[in-house]
Each structure stands twice: as structure tokens, then as C-alpha cells.
A and B are shown apart, each in its own frame.
Chain A
Amino acid sequence: MKKSSLLCLSILLCLLSAWLLRAHYSKPSGTGTTEVGVAHQERVKTGAPDAVVSAAANEDNPAAPDTQPLSAAAATIHAALEAALVELQSGDPARREAALQMLDELLSGAGHDAKAAIDAIMAFLRSGRDAQTGEEFVVGAEGLLDHAPTLRSLLMDHLGSLCLEAGQTEALTLAHSVLGKFGSTDEWAVCLRNTAWLDAKSGDFLTQKMEQMLSHEAWLKNPTRSFLESFDVIGSVGATSLLPRLEQFTSNQEMANLWRAGTVALDQFATNHPLETLQYLQSHPEFLQDRPLQRADLLAKADMGKSDQRALVEAYLQNPKFTADERGKVIDGLALQGGFLSQNLLTRPQAITPESEQLRIAMLHDLGNQWKGSNRFPDLNEYIDNLLLTTQPPPAE
């Protein structure tokens, strides 16, 4: 057995002992289903778009009592979750850290039992109990959380990947319940991601949820990290209906958090859906009209190797309604492409290799020569010259 596994086992045993002692000396908490965590106490607003189904009215509400007994393996994990709850509630940083390490090893370490872990997590989440972890909401590799602010959001994070691994859907059922009311933005963010992971046809549902999220005044007033990270859903599912909302966010420089998230979300949308972006801009020429340079940046995400996208860009470059400098910025942006590089809930960085980059540059150089040779855009020759210069084949190394 590995040293780390032994360490984890000993931590687990300590935590289990602590939990058993607590269970012995404290009054039983009844069914656990009536106790509602702090994050769930906020009342649901009425009226569109805030009108969401309350969890209590949802027949699929996983908060309903579950009479199914846990398997021995699931019961052991459940006991560890209970023990972790006690440790996290202690507020002691060292005890919290040990508990979080134990949970990670237990739920995603080598040899973990996905099915048992899912059952245990679901049973625990039904209790509604929660504890702060003392950490921020931080997205890591592959959309998994590096840090979660609460035990519940941490468990939902694990639940999503465990369900993917085991081919089960409990995380999806839970997500529909969580997303049915305005509780915790941390839980919303994880449940939006889990829904996208587990339901390939959830695009419309996720768009609807994002519309609700981005219209919820209480959350907009003080946007949390998880609220802002949720913007990634827009670019992932290609929620075109939310582009006007992003335009609003990026026009308000006073709300720096929303400005930033909106700017990145627009960029990710155009990166992940260049054709839809071009089509939207063609049919909505008023979009970003007060910020033409940012509009040009979105157009510059086009893949000019694809004929449909290229045709739309060329139509735009010929449109005198847009200034020469705006159109020129598209050409500049084709040659020098920008992007945001971060770990996101759903979208992933583009895979770029030196070879793929050389092919892109060579293709653009040929295109620039065609444009120049045919005098296709006579008022943009300055920018085409720059394109040719930037994409000039490098000398052999």
C-alpha cells in the first residue's frame, strides 16, 4: 500500500472515530431531511425570468427521504462524509485541510468505489447539511474544482465526475433540483457543469438557466467567483440569446467583475462558435456598435480555412457601413490572434501546435496574396500588407 494511502486511511479512521464519538454524545438529528443548509434558505422570487420551480414542488426532488439502505461500502463512505462535516465545522484550518485531503483521496483517489461514493454522497446531500471549507471557488483542470467553498459544492463536484465514470445520472437529477431555486451560486455553477457533462441535449435548458442566473439581481449585485465562472456555459453551449446580456455587462466599466467575465465570455463564445458569431453579427449589425474594435475582435476568430466563415468575413470586409479601421482590425486579428487561457468549467483551450500554427499562418499568407492580387478590398490594403508581413514564412532555422 502506498504511503499516501496509509496516511489517508489513518486520517479516515481518526475522522470516523470523531464522528462516532459525536454520534454517541449528541442528540440524533431526526430524519435529516427537514434540516436545510444556509445556502438553501433564500426564497425564490416570482415572475419571469426569476420564476423557477421550487425544490419542494419538484417531484424529482432528491431532498425527499430515501428509504433505500446503503451498501456496506457506501455506508463507510457516508460515515466518512459525516466525519468530514464535523471537521470542517470545527473551523480549525489544520483539521479542515486534513478532512479535505481525506475526501479527495476517498472520492477520487486510486481504488475508489464510484457507485458506493455516489450513493453515499446522495444520501449525505439529502440531509441538507453543509459546512464551509474556508476555500474559494477555483476551477482546475478539465473543469473539476481545485477548491470548493462548501462541503456540498465539493461533493457535487465529485458527484459529477463519479457519475461520468460510472455512467450514472444521479448528479443530473440533483442538478435539476438545485437549479430549480436560487440557493447557492457555488452549487449552481457545479450543477450547470454536471448537467452539460451528463446530458448532451441540455443546451436549451442550460441557456434558460443562464438567463435566470444573469437576471437574478441579488447575485448580480455581488457576483461571487462561482457566479462569474458560470459565464463559461454561454460559450460552451453557444447561447446566442445571451449575447445582448454580455454586451450590457461589457458596456459597464464600473462593475469590473461583470465587465471582465462578460469580456471573456464573449471571446470564448466567438472562439468556440465562430460561424454562429459571424451569423449573429451579420443579422445584428447594431451589436457592439459603440465598441467596434471589440466587435472586430470577435469576427477575427473566424476560421478562414472554412468557406462559409470566410464568405461571411469577406462580406463584412466589403461592407462600407463599418469603418475601414474596424474592418482593418479584423484583418489584423486574423494575423495576430488573441485569446484567454484559463481553466474553465466547460470550455477547453484550443489545441495549438507549432505545426498547426504554421499551417494557419501559411493559409492566411495565401489569402492575403489573393486579396492583394485581386484588389478585393482597396481601402484595406494597408492592413493586408501588414497581414502579409506578419504571416511571411519564417526563414529556415
Chain B
Amino acid sequence: MKTSSITTILSAACIALTAFTPTAAQAQTTPTYVGSATTSSNPYYFVGKLNMTFRSASGVEQNFVGSATTIKPYSALTAGHCVYHGTMGWLRRATFERAKYYNTAASTNTVTRMWVIGGYTSNAGNGSTNTYTGFSYDAGAVICSTRPAGGGYAGWSTNTALLTGTAYNMSLGYGSENHNGLEMLRSAPTRGFTRSTGAYYRNTTYQIEGGMSGGPVFALSGSTWYVAAINVSGGSAAGVRALDSATTSLINTNLN
């Protein structure tokens, strides 16, 4: 399964490289629409919009927008805070729309299980960096009842040098803070990330916005794209959760 997915990635990567060159997008330090054609190309087409419904204790329904990346046949990687809220608890309903572009999506999938990929202590810091609203810097995952990409999924890398070095990085996601949340956004740093605590990295040279949470930071190594981190915080600096070996070990062992 993994082999066939890599084959899919590699063959599709050629198409992606003709559709997009890192140099041309390096100035995109603020989230910018990628457009319909790019959305349906590698590696963008593994990314989707996560529609989330929480509900407050008073019964008021609260809908949020997040992002996720198909990382296993049935599973999409996202941010921990997309699935668990400190006062509202676990997410109540969710759908994952892969490669969504306005009213179309490559697939729309019902989410039936979710994980915060984290435990008693935070891998992304010593806990003091987490707000009580919960698992802010953790990775998360959603499991769908159907395979979002027909069994294909994005490759990932635990090599954090892809974040801190000179490799090209880009954050993707469905921003709804300053954009409409209906179309995929991309933004890219102009230099490498700096490790903050644990697996949490920051970058002051570019921005991500609300709704891009849970979306991937892709790193280009050679001609291959890898998910190297997850968007977890915005503001004056982009904050991302690197995919360290502990996290990917859990993904490999426990996600389908």
C-alpha cells in the first residue's frame, strides 16, 4: 500500500513541478489562493478542508474550519486542537473534503474517529506552552469511513532539517480568518524554521491564518514533497508541529 502510494506521489510530482515552481511562490509570505488547477495537483490534492462542529455547554452549535492531509488510506493528519477543545471536549461532527474548491471536492468523507496524537505530556513542549483550551501544539488525526484518496496518501518526513535548513517549505490550508475558507491557500517562509520547544517550530517570515490549522507544511526534497509539519498557530509568527519520529511511529502503527 505504501509502495503504491509513493508511486502515485512520484508520478504526480512531475505534474506538480510543472504547475508550480517554488521560486515563483517564494514571495507568498501571506496566504494566497492556489487556484483550481493547483488544488487538484500533487501534493495539494492530498489536502482538504475539515468542517468541524462543536457545541457549547449551553447547547449553542459552533462551526469551525480546519484543514487536514490524507496521510494513510483512511486517515488524515490535522492539529490536536481541531478535534479536542478544553471546555467543549471532543469534536461532535466532522467531514473532510479533500481538494475542495468552492462547491466541488475530490471526495467528501464522514469522520468516524479522531485522535489527539499526544498524551500526558506534550511532545511539543513541556506543557507550559499549551493553553488550557487544549493540546494547542499537538498533532491530531481524523479517520474517515471511506478512503479519501482511493487508498493514496501523502508521504512524510521526520527529518526536521527539511524545516530548519534551506529546503523549500509551504503551508497549505483552508483559511477562513481573512479568506473565504472555500479555496485552498498557500503561504511560504523565506527562511528556515527555528525550533522553539520540543517538536514546536516557529517562523517569523510568513503567516498562516485561522482555518489553515491542521494543514500541512510540505517540504520539497529533491523532486518529492513530504509533509514535514502541521500548522498549529498563527499570529505574528507561524507555529508548526514537526513530524518527529515518535509521532510518525504512532501514525504507522495505529492509523489505517
A interface list, Cβ under 8 A from B: 138-141, 146, 225, 228-229, 231-232, 253-254, 256-257, 259-261, 263-265, 291-294, 296-297, 300, 323-325, 329, 332-333, 335-344, 349, 352-354, 357-358, 361, 386, 389-392, 394-395, 397
- Pairwise interchain contact B55-A141, C-beta atoms closer than 8 A: no
A257 / chain B contacts, CB cutoff of 8 Å: 121, 126-128
Known: A228-B127, A265-B120. A357 touches B113 (CB 8 A): yes
**Residues of A close to B113: CB separation below 8 A:** 336-339, 352, 357
Question: Which of B87, B141, B145 is within 8 Å of A341, CB to CB?
Answer: B141
**Least Cβ distance of A141 to chain B in Å?**
7
Residues from chain B with Cβ under 8 Å of A349 in the complex: 250, 253-254
What is the CB-to-nearest-CB distance from B28 to chain A, in angstroms, rounded to a whole number? 33
Q: Which residue of B lies closest to A137 (CB)?
A: B121
Query: What residues of chain B lie closer than 8 Å to A391, measured between beta carbons?
Result: 112
Interchain CB contact under 8 A, A296 and B145: no
Q: B118 touching A336 by the CB < 8 A rule?
A: no
Q: Is B158 an interface residue (CB 8 A)?
A: no
| Contact, CB under 8 Å: A342 / B250 | yes
B59:A338 contact, CB within 8 angstroms: no
- Chain B residues whose C-beta falls within 8 Å of the C-beta of A390 in the assembled complex: 93, 110, 112
| B86-A392 in contact (CB<8A) | no
Cα distance, A297 to B86, chains bound together (Å) = 12
List the B side residues contacting A352 at CB < 8 Å. 113, 143, 254, 256
B83 at interface, CB cutoff 8 A: yes
Q: Is B104 an interface residue (CB 8 A)?
A: no
CB-based contact A339/B115 at 8 Å: yes
Asked if B88 is at the interface (CB within 8 A of a chain A CB), the reply is yes
| B256 nearest CB neighbor, chain A only | A354
Contact of A263 among B83, B93, B134, B147 (CB under 8 A): B134
Q: Is the CB of B90 within 8 A of A336?
A: yes
Give min CB distance, A193 to chain B, whole Å.
13
What are 20 A-to-B residue pairs whose CB atoms are below 8 Å? A253-B132, A260-B121, A260-B122, A260-B127, A260-B130, A260-B135, A264-B118, A293-B55, A297-B89, A335-B93, A335-B112, A336-B111, A338-B83, A341-B115, A341-B116, A349-B253, A353-B256, A357-B74, A357-B256, A397-B147
Which residues of chain B come closer than 8 Å to A261, judged between CB atoms?
Answer: 120-121
Q: In whole angstroms, how far apart are the Cα atoms of A294 and B89 in the complex?
A: 6
B residues near A361, Cβ cutoff 8 Å: 112, 145
CA gap between A279 and B126 in the complex, in Å: 35
Contact partner of B116 (CB less than 8 A), chosen from A253, A294, A340, A389, is A340
B27 on interface, CB distance cutoff 8 Å: no
In the complex where A342-B117, A343-B119 touch, is A336 in contact with B254 (Cβ < 8 A)?
Answer: no
- Known A231-B120, A329-B92, A394-B145: A338·B115 in contact at CB below 8 Å: yes
A225 to B128, alpha carbons, bound, how many Å?
12
Q: What is the CA–CA distance of A225 and B122 in the complex, to the nearest angstrom?
A: 9
Give CA–CA (A342, B115) in the complex, Å. 10
Q: A357-B112, A358-B145 are in contact. List 7 more A-B contacts (CB 8 A).
A: A232-B119, A257-B121, A257-B126, A260-B130, A260-B135, A394-B110, A397-B147
| Contact A329/B146 with A256-B130, A336-B111 known, Cβ cut-off 8 Å | no
B221 to chain A, nearest CB (A): 26
Nearest neighbor of A393 in chain B, beta-carbon distance: B145
- Contacting pair B120 A323 (CB below 8 A): no
A386 to B130, CA, bound (A): 32
- Given A338-B114, A352-B256, A253 contacting B86 (CB threshold 8 A): yes
A contact residues around B147 at 8 Å (CB): 397
Q: Which chain A positions have C-beta within 8 A of B134?
A: 260, 263
A336 touches B128 (CB 8 A): no
What residues on A are CB-neighbors of B253 within 8 Å?
349
B254:A296 contact, CB within 8 angstroms: no
Q: Are A344 and B57 in contact (CB under 8 A)?
A: no
| Interface hits, B205-256 → A, CB 8 Å | 246, 249-250, 253-254, 256
Tell me, yes or no, whether B168 is within 8 Å of chain A by CB: no
The reply on B45 being an interface residue by CB < 8 A is: no
Q: Please give the distance in Å from A269's CB to the nearest CB on chain B.
A: 12
Please judge, given known A-B contacts A228-B121, A293-B57, whether A397 and B89 are in contact too, CB under 8 Å. Answer: no
Tell me if B200 counts as interface (CB < 8 A to partner A): no
